[in-house]
Amino acid sequence: MEMGTVTAFPYPQISESPLAARCTCKEAVAPSRTPTPMARNDAAFTLVELATTLAVVGITLLAAIPAFATVMRNAQAASASHQLTVALATARMAAIDRGHAVTVCPSNDGSHCRRDSTWDAGWIVYLDPGRDPDPASVERVLEHSQRDGAISVRGSDGRRRVRYLPDGRASGSNTTLALCRRADGQSVGKVVINNAGRVRIERPDAPGTRCPFNL
């Protein structure tokens, strides 16, 4: 009997079950974290730094207050002198332009002249063709300047007014308006009007010059 050929079939390879497989890898272990103190914010101020800053600012302000007060007092004096010179220049130009006398006098209410030489509360400029003691009407008042009384103003020799003639001259003799600071009684200057009607400002001879009149 003829022997047949035998075909050999390879044995099936049996793979190892995943469940049976041994894991040879090591488990990943999370690195341990040691607690660290909270980082300090360098941009912030501590209470001590803030208190120190406020103290320095306070000292600086205290040092600046006297200088600021001096500036304010000087500004008040300059303002009073400037307003007086403007009023006098306005009166002179009005007298020339209108061909009539124009008077500047101290006034409390803006419509009447004071009967003394105290200019503290302000003054008025008015048309005065008839040499009237007060403006003949409200319409004749060209300007009214009010003051708060911080700067006292007195006319020399009891002069109660300055009257400009149509040719621009100031009637009468030279007139001086002395200005003093009421707070400390110091002179802050003079406004002088000469016979030609021109005005100039004179400063005190020295700092701390006392006022020439009683406040």
Residue whose C-alpha is closest to residue 153's, from 124, 190, 193, 126? 190
Whether residue 24 is contained in a domain is answered as no
Whether residue 75 is contained in a domain is answered as yes
Whether residue 3 is contained in a domain is answered as no
- Cα-based angle 18, 24, 28 (whole degrees, multiple of 5): 110
Whether residue 156 is contained in a domain is answered as yes
**R_g (Cα) of the chain, nearest Å:** 48
Q: How many CB atoms lie within 10 A of CB 153?
A: 25
Residue whose C-alpha is closest to residue 213's, from 146, 120, 84, 74? 120
Work out the average pLDDT over 152-158. Answer: 86
- Domain carrying residue 119: 66-202
Whether residue 180 is contained in a domain is answered as yes
Number of domains in the chain: 1
We report the CATH number of the domain holding residue 142 as 3.55.40.10
Beta partners for residue 199, in sequence order: 193
Whether residue 7 is contained in a domain is answered as no
Of the chain, the percentage scoring pLDDT greater than 70 comes to 73
Whether residue 167 is contained in a domain is answered as yes
pLDDT band at 73 (very low <50, low <70, confident <90, very high): confident
Q: Is the pLDDT of residue 62 over 80?
A: no
Whether residue 27 is contained in a domain is answered as no
Length of the chain: 215
Q: Is the pLDDT of residue 20 over 80?
A: no
Query: Cβ neighbours of residue 161 under 8 Å, at least 6 residues apart?
Result: 103, 104, 105, 106, 113, 155
